[in-house]
Amino acid sequence: NAGVTQTPKFRILKIGQSMTLQCAQDMNHNYMYWYRQDPGMGLKLIYYSVGAGITDKGEVPNGYNVSRSTTEDFPLRLELAAPSQTSVYFCASSLVSGSLGEQYFGPGTRLTVT
């Protein structure tokens, strides 16, 4: 049981490039989330999914896209990378939503856009 896995661990992008951050979970969780963590700012929700085929925007969705074709995978796509997207990205999953379910976090992807 690997829990929540994320790849890559680190990435440097040039302005305007695109990339996909991968996230997978093997706990058969319905809910999956993408957060970004900026220094001194806590975690902010980018996108979330309540099940395969269903996604919705969080607090800071601009510049990102997601898809959820399977229960296990929830990739985050960055189009036209900007310096403001330099951050640490965390994927998380939970069996149920909100206060009913503990969120399990992956180890994170540190992204730098220059």
Interface contacts to other proteins, rule CB under 8 A: 4, 31, 40-45, 48, 50, 56, 58-59, 90, 92, 97-100, 102-108
Sign of CA dihedral 95, 61, 65, 91: negative
Q: Which is nearer to other proteins, 69 or 97 (CB)?
A: 97
Nearest distance from residue 27's CB to other proteins, in Å?
14
CA distance 94 to 2: 14
Length of the chain: 114
DSSP category for residue 22: E
Closer to other proteins at the Cβ: 28 or 42?
Answer: 42
Q: Given the complex with other proteins, which of 17 and 57 has the nearer CB atom?
A: 57
Measured CA to CA, the distance from residue 69 to residue 42 in angstroms comes to 29
Least Cβ distance, residue 94 to other proteins (angstroms): 10
Name which of 2, 1, 4 is nearest 94 in CA terms: 4
> CA-to-CA distance for 54 and 42, rounded, in angstroms?
26
Given the complex with other proteins, which of 8 and 16 has the nearer CB atom? 8
CB of 80 to other proteins, least distance (A): 26
Q: Minimal distance in Å, beta carbon 52 to other proteins?
A: 15
